[in-house]
Structure 1
Amino acid sequence: MKDFIGKVAVITGAGNGFGVELAKECATRGMKIVIADIDKNDLYRTESMLIEMGADVVAVATDVSIYEEVELLAKITIDTFGSVDLLFNNAGVVAAGPVWELPVNDWDWIMGVNVNGLVYGLRAFIPIMLKQGTPCHIVNTSSVAGLLTTPSMVAYHTTKHAAVALTEATNYSLQAINANIKMSVFCPGFVQTDLHNCDRHRPERFKIDPNNPYYESKTYKEGLARGQHVITTGIPIDSIAQSVFIAIEDEKFYILTHPQYHPVIGKRVKDMLEGVNPSAEFFTKA
């Protein structure tokens, strides 16, 4: 896809971070835009910004972990604009801690958003794209955490590896039926987003239980501090959307923004092929 003027883009997680930047780039390229986010205040702030840019935009409050809400998002998109050309399956959250400590509620939340949110987006929008038969593109947001693993982010790694596998397998399925839909998986490293504040976006059913001692634990507090540090010291966000759109134009499947991680990704694959066991010593030496 190279011609974006007048085309329709749908962006989940559009209230902050990557979603805002992608929405701005869509507006700059003359697209009609449907933005979705669970946080209405953030969502409508993005909507106001896009309107000021002169964009034709619709904002839909959406919890991507609920299929019926994603299905409604697709319906509103078609009822409003009549088609969909570009889908950014972008909403995401993070939770830190080892598997034996992280509360089940946190697992349900992060799996619901980072995995089911992508599945629901694909399930709701791909049939529409197939029926259209026009050139379309889907970008699933994963992370470099979907291409390597570290000791402290087990739930995040789990969901982001799932995002990569989901995108690869779906891409094969679309190729097998000669669909006119291209796909990309976006795998950035640390970027200055608002991800470390994602707890404020929890829906009621996933709210933190103040009586659960985990949330007063050293593990939880260190995870919050670490998350804040790596995100606030990440690369600036303002060039990310341009990189993603260049990848779309070039029909590039893997979108990686941090080449410094390539040796680590390569080592992981090399170790697999050579039968080398994973070792935590790698991280203590790094």
Structure 2
Amino acid sequence: MKEFKNKVALITGAANGFGKEFLKEASRRGMRIAALDIEKDEVEAAAKEAKELGAAEIFTIQADVTKVEDCERAVDEVIEKFGAIDLLMNNAGVVVPGDIWDTPVRDWEWITHANFLSHVYFMHKVIPIMMKQGTHCNIVNTCSVAGLITSNGMPAYHATKHAAVALSESVSYDLQAKGADISVSIYCPGFVQTDLHHAERHRPEQYKDASDPYYTSKEFAMGQKIAEQVIVTGMPIDSVGMRVFNAIEEDQFYILTHPIYTTLIGKRVTDMLAGKGPNLIELRGK
């Protein structure tokens, strides 16, 4: 996509973090924007702030991306409002730290629906619309460098981000096979100063169980503490919007923003080809 003015963008998770930065950059480029988030008041505040940057129009949608019916309703609302979707940004996501034997199954279900299946829900609904439009369109899926490498302590996050990467790559092949004028990109950053460590306050009711002792355990508290530490000490978020939108202009598939992980990505591929498994001592550099 080379021209953004008056084009339609649907951005999920638009109230905070990356989504808010995408919302602001889309506004600077004069787009018509549908800003979606589970937090109604927060996304309305973010939209009000972004509108002052030059958006042609912004309207907000309150929706839970873990529910397919909410995702489909949201797309219907965008089409009713704007009549088209030129840019889909699947950005909403959460983090669930913890070992597989400690983390409740409901947490796996939550993160799988938020980080992976929400991409399925929106692309399933939006791609046919984009195909019918007959114009060049873009899809950007926020995937994380956690979808390209692995580490200890957050198997649920790595699993869902790897799934999102594989989904995006496969969908790109399928779109090419169909001759569809739709470009897919995946945004795979390392640690950035987002709102991700506050994911618990966005947890939908269907994934809550205050009676489960896990949520008062030291394992849960430690996971939350580590998540906060790596986020608040991450890269400043200011340049994210421009970086990602420049990549959209160039139809770039892999959007990598942390060169420090390049060696780890390469090592993982080399280890695969050599049949070598994960080594925690090597990972920790000891």
Name the TM tier (shorter chain).
Answer: over 0.9
Contact 2:214 2:220 in 1 (8 A): yes
- 1:250 Cα deviation from its structure 2 partner: 0.9
User: Tell me, what secondary structure is at the counterpart of 2:252?
Assistant: coil
The corresponding residue for 1:202 is: 203
* Structure 1 consecutive aligned stretches of length 4 or more whose deviation exceeds 6 Å: none
The corresponding residue for 1:7 is: 7
| Whole-angstrom distance in 2 between the partners of 1:136 and 1:122 | 12
Alignment of 1:9-88 (within 5 A): 9-55=9-55, 56-88=57-89
The corresponding residue for 1:233 is: 233
Alignment of 1:125-144 (within 5 A): 125-144=126-145
- 1:54 Cα deviation from its structure 2 partner: 4.3
- 1:274 Cα deviation from its structure 2 partner: 1.1
The corresponding residue for 1:114 is: 115
| Whole-angstrom distance in 1 between the partners of 2:188 and 2:170 | 16
Moved more, 47-56 or 81-90: 47-56
Gaps of 5+ in 2: none
Moved more, 70-79 or 17-26: 70-79
| Whole-angstrom distance in 2 between the partners of 1:169 and 1:42 | 34
- 1:115 Cα deviation from its structure 2 partner: 0.9
- 1:210 Cα deviation from its structure 2 partner: 2.6
Contact 2:29 2:54 in 1 (8 A): no
- 1:145 Cα deviation from its structure 2 partner: 0.2
- Provide Cα deviations, 1:172-193, integer angstroms capped at 9, x if missing partner: 0000011000000110000000
- Provide Cα deviations, 1:121-174, integer angstroms capped at 9, x if missing partner: 101110100111110000000000000000101000000000000000000000
Alignment of 1:139-158 (within 5 A): 139-158=140-159
- The one-letter amino acid paired with 2:105 is V
- The one-letter amino acid paired with 2:2 is K
The corresponding residue for 1:249 is: 249
- The one-letter amino acid paired with 1:242 is M
Alignment of 1:179-198 (within 5 A): 179-198=180-199
- The one-letter amino acid paired with 2:29 is R
- The one-letter amino acid paired with 1:163 is A
- The one-letter amino acid paired with 1:4 is F
TM-score (norm. length: structure 1): 0.97
TM-score (norm. length: structure 2): 0.97
User: Tell me, what secondary structure is at the counterpart of 1:285?
Assistant: coil
- The one-letter amino acid paired with 1:64 is V
Contact 2:28 2:54 in 1 (8 A): no
| Whole-angstrom distance in 1 between the partners of 2:267 and 2:253 | 21
Contact 2:26 2:33 in 1 (8 A): yes
Q: How many residue pairs are counted as aligned between the two chains? A: 285
User: Tell me, what secondary structure is at the counterpart of 1:242?
Assistant: helix
How much identity, in percent, do the aligned residues show?
A: 52
The corresponding residue for 1:170 is: 171
| Whole-angstrom distance in 2 between the partners of 1:30 and 1:240 | 18
RMSD, aligned α-carbons: 1.0
